Structure 1
């Protein structure tokens, strides 16, 4: 039995080891330039000075055979149909790639690129066929061109693209020339080649139709977000539809699907006033209008429209600083009719107007994050941008050990791609078809304006390949999440390359699960160390964020609307970055209730307090002489500080300096990653996990909802008790001078007077010496009963007596 347990224990790796960050040693490329239009740092590096050049050295070099099929000319026509519907077919071993066919063209132009990975080349000859598409019979053979792979040139960036050449077509045996020519370019290159992103890849030969566009790598840019601040001041000449009453007026403002309302004006008047701020999130280009309606609350469930106006957003000024915005009057459209005797309708002949102060303020890209994983602190207005302080380069190398995400031809499969987001720039790698160990080897670059920011990378399974692929759980086709990684730039040493395999961990209804590993190479390069040091004392967000701050409810609402706008705009790109991907990258559901998150946050607080509690326990042991030697040393140190009080602050600072130097030995050697223990993802109860994945509103049976509600009431009751105790202690402290208890306040006032006289007449050193020796006195001189101060404080009144 014992031996069986040992063997079982050896076979099962510990969960901590499974979720551990692993150091890797990939064969990264040398520091060599990427193509002029390549996927490296090219388009950004010019802004960062001459210190950096465009490089592609954080990935493993992958060599590919590129074939660019440009066009053909003078192709023969079919003897029967009298026309030619040509297309080109590129064949290398068992791999075949075809261009689109063009109807009735003897001089077709395709301009398509085909890429064959060097690792999968199975032949020494490359054949390019030109064929005539036939609807009924077999496609007609027109001609071909054959290349010996040993004669194919190698293109090394930053060389210009290889010039295509005209080649005469040959017959099937290659002995004689036939009519027609084709323009081609064939070369060996790497993934840094500008043709790599748009090329047809042999490893994705099974993808056809619209799926071809959905597997390509792309760079996306988030829309520029602005806050639309509408200060509703007043309205004039507001007439209700019914006579004999003053209207209960409020204003409803709508921008797209965002709707906000002012309060109902409390004054019974035809010229109501509000002076309320309504804040929206809008994105450039401005497609929506600001629609304002003046409404009358006729009944609790019925509102009548009294006036309306629609204002284009381009009408308002963009505020770049804290200078005031001038208010304006806007006329409302004629809004209603009144009923006369005889049931005849007559249009009202006057117009109301509304007084507004409206401006656009530059939103910060923290608003497209659902939590405080800030990836950009710049305002939208480019005029307020500062120079970048560094460059972030990320090489997305590969993934290992991915699990099947869907069924394909009766077997598990995974078509993985990676998405990275930092600031306004989103990047998406190409999709590697049907592989549990995909290799992307793509490098991307971002400008860094603040080191205290986070880059987020997620791995997804592509379910939009144009075939019959279905998710394992059924339902509509959605790109399935595999895992996510976050890296905080401030934790990276400058100019150092980090090569690690990050565990891809997700929380599923069945529990926490490792989906594989993502291998990255990361480098944060600093342009100016002085600028980085300066930023640590500078405000995190622009000045407008602090001069006109938002409330907590406004921030939550604006953040949600900003995420919806970003998801909608990126979903309109080609290929689209789908909504489920954007929401997962931005943690759209992080605000939902979760017992697991509540426990995790509680124990985070307890972890912070553990040091203070440990210090208090140590000091209590010193006061009770549990270790006489330590207590004597504390007495000696205390007497030295009493004699030389000027040493107190220097000693404290020196002590923190020594602790900091000592902890330098234990500094983190690698970036942080997902911690399942910290997140309480391993010890969570199944029902609590099921509750976290429940929909909102809930879709569970009433009995289960009742049980969870009772549990929530129990937890909330304990929180309520703790909050009440904290409020009671504060109110007792407040009642010292409030005379709620005249005798207690009188005693405290007299004590303050006597203490003031004593402290004035007695040197401070004597007071400190007496207080310290009294605190450190031996246990035999201590009483087991509470102190006078404690007894007095607990007798003070609080406001809990007045609560129902």
Structure 2
């Protein structure tokens, strides 16, 4: 296999000679191989069109390599650096060839902090599979032996031949065997593929109009807009003396229809139609007014526009004002009075304010009810608060049975959230006390009351209400840190019938109600939260920048409706902070193009934006169906460079009971712009969550329960919007099932810990290599450094921090150049078996048969047993350390304290430098002075007692 790097051109390079020009050439490095192009003399916009080939020694390890591309100016005495690009080989898809590989344009980067670089370079990268041609000749004993082997790589019209001895050999008439080399790179299927940013984004900010600045991350799409406003003085068409008018906008084979208005000669529609310019099939657009009838609809009149005369409108131009047009008959006659219609017709782009609510030409086959589900929409999560309720006590309760003392508890209900106190801490009493605190999640507007019910437990599964209290949520006082005052409330007897009737005597309940506005109500997982602001707008941090996301297109989507002889009706949902975005639905396409751009304010860079793709199952009238998941993408803002445009194809991955599937690729452009550098840097020293989470923390289990309640509230509110954002879409975005048990996730987390500890293991191996003098020169250098630090201990900390600084500077050139994406290897999604996946997607409680559950339980016991052993070993080591001074083993403790006394006396007398020098030299002594037997301290520690022998 070969890696092909097609160097196409560069633009706007930095001039380096005295004439204000440069003579550039390109050097490419890959896997210890180096090739360069020819030099183009005196040209700041050179074009090479050269293909450089590199050997791939290990195709399975290609993703761990990088491609370094450097541009230099060829001077008289030396070469000058013009810029470079580092590209990860994992971004090269194995499906790319010389014919379908895209041209990618990369901005040139600096080599140092103080160099001045400009310009970009266009490259095409792909992998070549080789055709091997082997020639045999007769050897000793008649056995064939290889005489010559040729490898052919097709590069456009060129054909490069490589031979074992590097020399060109003419073909002779001998036997030839041909074979196709395999392409073994499955992991690249799930990697990112970088693409070229849109043209407007590459031009910079200066001199742009509104369309370029607002929609610069996406490609411009042109539409023909027809705004049908209203009509007047329409003729009567029915025997009733009126008509049921509607408007039909016709352009070639596309037809858009407004709703009909019954018995109205001056109807109002306010409907906008958008026809894609790429699909225009006619040179005229007709606007027809018709009368809805039982049989054939009657023709009322029409207006015809020539597309060549339609004006072009680009924001920020003023909106095109509609005008009155007289309706004509089919022959174009205006003499007969057919009424007038108010219209506006113009050519615009997707940046037009009429675009989101417009009827689109690709939705011509669906009903008006289904049309609402295809439009783009911006939603906002409801403002959430924590409601804190402290149930203190009750007084003067009156039980139904006067002869018994009640066993009282308090039941609190807010919507679907239910809490119940334990029995009173004072025991059975007419004046019970609980002193229990509960948290609820509430959302504005507060349309559900809090219901308090004092219940007497009179028997198994039988509770009798002794009193009831209904309060609105706004009765709770808002608070940030100080506690609010407690209040006494009158309880209403449930059997009284009239809750408003005044009574001379009533039972009372003592409560403290507060609306805690200082918290941030979590509705997402804390690992990838997009919002960390407190509920109170007065406590929120100032904005530090803007996040811009351009959703360009998708490709290779799976046909989700193949059973219905349809493809996929794809739309995207984006969530960042409280703002949700839903793109329009592109009907019946496996390669939809949205080209929609959205903007969010950023208050904290350590947040995550989530983008998901769904198949719309509501556009064809199936209201009970659920939108199907196609895939999800997460991007953490802190991993993005500011003011840089990231354009990539993100693989859409879905884990199903049948295994991991790639359902397509989503093409997006992302840019994070910082407007307050000082505030952003200061945020790294501040806590992630509002201070109330630290002053009065919420227990982990309770926070997870409250998060589930918050997700249910958000999903219910967004499902009531118009058009609704489906509950299944919201739950998928918020990872409602992320807390469920999964053996695959457990393995992934275990190997994450193993990978984390592997660094310490590597340090230990390096130190053992030093101690055993496997590399004498390195050990001698460490001896010298060690003696210097012992003699000058004040240099220890400066040396450590200088070493960290140098490592950071060295790793700068290897910094990641792509946004992080879901790693299938890290998630153990590629290697998990079907039984583990079936267990992960099982319902809760389980719906599998007992034999399968028994086998899984046995497997879980086996895995948990190994975890239990590891945890027990770690506990044993800690307990041995505690046993040093606890006299659990009196002889061991006696020995240890005597040794400790001797060490204290010795260290008091001996200088510290001498002690450190002796200890270091002893640890680094030559292997000739070592023994394979364990050391005395190790043997002593292993003999210390632990609590493992006390376990049952």
**Does TM, normalized by the shorter one, top 0.5?**
yes
Does the 8 Å CA contact 2:384/2:535 hold for their aligned counterparts? yes
SS at match of 1:432: coil
**1:118 is the counterpart of 2:277:** yes
Tell me which residue corresponds to 2:925.
777
Tell me which residue corresponds to 1:750.
898
Does the 8 Å CA contact 2:884/2:944 hold for their aligned counterparts? yes
1:672–1:77 CA distance, 2 compared to 1 (3 A): same
SS at match of 1:622: helix
How far apart are the structure 2 equivalents of 1:725 and 1:308? Answer: 55
Tell me which residue corresponds to 2:193.
22
**1:566 is the counterpart of 2:691:** no
Aligned match for 2:607, one of 434, 453, 469: 453
1:170–1:691 CA distance, 2 compared to 1 (3 A): same
| Of 684-693 and 739-748, the range deviating more from structure 2 | 739-748
Tell me which residue corresponds to 1:275.
435
How far apart are the structure 1 equivalents of 2:401 and 2:902? Answer: 72
| Of 782-791 and 602-611, the range deviating more from structure 2 | 782-791
How far apart are the structure 1 equivalents of 2:717 and 2:947? Answer: 53
Tell me which residue corresponds to 2:568.
414
How far apart are the structure 1 equivalents of 2:582 and 2:438? Answer: 36
How far apart are the structure 1 equivalents of 2:384 and 2:412? Answer: 19
Gaps of 5+ in 1: 41-52, 338-347, 470-475
How far apart are the structure 2 equivalents of 1:302 and 1:632? Answer: 82
Gaps of 5+ in 2: 1-130, 134-176, 497-502
Does the 8 Å CA contact 2:229/2:271 hold for their aligned counterparts? yes
1:44-59 pair list within 5 angstroms: 55-59=214-218
Higher RCO (CA 8 Å, separation ≥ 6 residues)? 1
SS at match of 2:702: helix
How far apart are the structure 2 equivalents of 1:177 and 1:717? Answer: 93
Tell me which residue corresponds to 2:536.
381
**TM-score, with structure 2 as normaliser:** 0.78
1:327–1:642 CA distance, 2 compared to 1 (3 A): same
Tell me which residue corresponds to 1:357.
512
What is the CA deviation profile of residues 633-657 of structure 1, one whole-angstrom value per residue up to 9, with x for unaligned ones? 2211111111111111111111111
What is the CA deviation profile of residues 72-131 of structure 1, one whole-angstrom value per residue up to 9, with x for unaligned ones? 111111264422111111111111111111111111111111111100111111111111
Aligned match for 2:287, one of 107, 123, 128: 128
Does the 8 Å CA contact 1:34/1:56 hold for their aligned counterparts? no
**1:325 is the counterpart of 2:484:** yes
| Of 271-280 and 577-586, the range deviating more from structure 2 | 271-280
Tell me which residue corresponds to 2:355.
196
1:682-721 pair list within 5 angstroms: 682-721=830-869
CA RMSD of aligned residues (A): 2.3
Tell me which residue corresponds to 1:161.
319
| Cα shift at 1:322 | 1.3
| Of 291-300 and 501-510, the range deviating more from structure 2 | 291-300
| Cα shift at 1:293 | 2.4
1:706–1:8 CA distance, 2 compared to 1 (3 A): farther
What is the CA deviation profile of residues 227-283 of structure 1, one whole-angstrom value per residue up to 9, with x for unaligned ones? 111122223334555566554433222211112223333433523333222111111
| Cα shift at 1:572 | 0.6
Tell me which residue corresponds to 2:790.
642
Does the 8 Å CA contact 2:518/2:534 hold for their aligned counterparts? yes
Does the 8 Å CA contact 1:334/1:350 hold for their aligned counterparts? no
How far apart are the structure 2 equivalents of 1:520 and 1:564? Answer: 29
Aligned match for 2:653, one of 467, 490, 505: 505
Aligned residues: 767
Tell me which residue corresponds to 1:434.
588
How far apart are the structure 1 equivalents of 2:198 and 2:363? Answer: 25
Tell me which residue corresponds to 1:344.
none
How far apart are the structure 2 equivalents of 1:251 and 1:777? Answer: 72
Does the 8 Å CA contact 1:371/1:590 hold for their aligned counterparts? no
1:243–1:493 CA distance, 2 compared to 1 (3 A): same
Aligned match for 1:588, one of 736, 746, 755: 736
| Cα shift at 1:578 | 0.6
How far apart are the structure 2 equivalents of 1:75 and 1:267? Answer: 81
What is the CA deviation profile of residues 33-78 of structure 1, one whole-angstrom value per residue up to 9, with x for unaligned ones? 787xxxx9xxxxxxxxxxxx96221111111000111111111112
SS at match of 2:894: helix
Does the 8 Å CA contact 2:518/2:539 hold for their aligned counterparts? no
**1:607 is the counterpart of 2:607:** no
How far apart are the structure 2 equivalents of 1:789 and 1:303? Answer: 66
**TM-score, with structure 1 as normaliser:** 0.91
SS at match of 1:372: helix
What is the CA deviation profile of residues 281-319 of structure 1, one whole-angstrom value per residue up to 9, with x for unaligned ones? 111111222222233444464444333322211101111
Aligned match for 1:225, one of 369, 379, 384: 384
Does the 8 Å CA contact 1:33/1:158 hold for their aligned counterparts? no
How far apart are the structure 1 equivalents of 2:240 and 2:903? Answer: 114
1:435–1:550 CA distance, 2 compared to 1 (3 A): same
Does the 8 Å CA contact 2:520/2:689 hold for their aligned counterparts? no
How far apart are the structure 1 equivalents of 2:711 and 2:180? Answer: 48
How far apart are the structure 1 equivalents of 2:911 and 2:432? Answer: 65
How far apart are the structure 2 equivalents of 1:680 and 1:79? Answer: 70
| Cα shift at 1:781 | 2.4
1:468–1:292 CA distance, 2 compared to 1 (3 A): closer
What is the CA deviation profile of residues 646-697 of structure 1, one whole-angstrom value per residue up to 9, with x for unaligned ones? 1111111111111111111110111011111111100001100111111111
Does the 8 Å CA contact 1:130/1:142 hold for their aligned counterparts? yes
| Cα shift at 1:527 | 0.4
| Of 597-606 and 284-293, the range deviating more from structure 2 | 284-293
Does the 8 Å CA contact 1:26/1:60 hold for their aligned counterparts? no
How far apart are the structure 2 equivalents of 1:188 and 1:176? Answer: 27
1:645–1:506 CA distance, 2 compared to 1 (3 A): same
Aligned match for 1:94, one of 253, 262, 268: 253
SS at match of 1:170: coil
Tell me which residue corresponds to 2:87.
none
How far apart are the structure 1 equivalents of 2:843 and 2:930? Answer: 59
| Cα shift at 1:628 | 2.2
Does the 8 Å CA contact 2:275/2:360 hold for their aligned counterparts? yes
SS at match of 1:368: coil
**1:151 is the counterpart of 2:309:** yes
Aligned match for 1:483, one of 612, 623, 631: 631
| Cα shift at 1:627 | 2.2
How far apart are the structure 1 equivalents of 2:220 and 2:881? Answer: 69
1:735–1:241 CA distance, 2 compared to 1 (3 A): farther
| Of 301-310 and 784-793, the range deviating more from structure 2 | 301-310
Tell me which residue corresponds to 1:391.
546
SS at match of 2:321: coil
Tell me which residue corresponds to 1:472.
none
